Amino acid sequence: MTSVILASKSAARAAVLRSAGVPFETVDSGVDEAAAKEGWLTKGAGPREVAEGLAERKAVAVSKSRTGLVIGADQTLDLDGVLYDKAQDIAEARARLVALRGRRHFLHSALVAAKDGAPVWRLTESPALSMRCFSDAFLDDYLERHGASVLGSVGCYRLEDVGAQLFEAIEGDYFAILGLPLLPLLGFLRKQGALPS
């Protein structure tokens, strides 16, 4: 059976794959994501292109030294065409959630599979999430109860947790929101002999 390597440090992505029963190992790509992102943004790339570029760079980097299928993944938050990075502290998280409140944003979740140093498959899904107009009191309680854990998500929420209460509508795949469009990936892995059909 073809081996699968996840070129990502994301615990959430690993948990999604593990829960789906996919045998895999995790390898850090060593890609300087901040430098790559800055270079692409300077050249006018948008949030979707940055996610796709980072997913490919991670997959290719690991596949140059490892056999099997290497899955690179990345996700960016896009609010009106502007890319947002993870908040550095609770004050920034609060400002992020205030900026998203009552508005619609996109999460671009990109996957690239590579083998022998070259991409062999790619997919990007872009769910749209609409936050409700929650009160300041709700926001303060949410941040007080969840503290620094909100800093692990670029949107400062965890949809699989009480963060779901921040939203009024979601369009798109749940797994893509978690950072790993799972069903298309499972289909690809079955075709490649990495999972039983």
Residue 51 CA to residue 184 CA, distance in Å, equals 17
Whether the CB-CB separation of 159 and 105 falls below 8 Å is answered with no
In terms of DSSP bridges, do strands 82-84 and 104-115 run parallel, antiparallel, or are they unpaired? unpaired
Q: Quick one: 23 exposed, middle or buried, by C-beta within 10 A (0-12, 13-18, 19+)?
A: exposed
Residue 29 CA to residue 17 CA, distance in Å, equals 18
**CA 150 to each of CA 3, 92, 159, 170: distance values in angstroms, whole numbers, following the listed order:** 33, 11, 11, 19
- Candidates 74, 136, 161, 173; catalytic one: 74
Q: Is 89 a catalytic residue?
A: no
Residue 9 CA to residue 88 CA, distance in Å, equals 18
Smallest CA-to-CA distance from 71 within 1, 3, 7 is with 7
Catalytic positions: 74
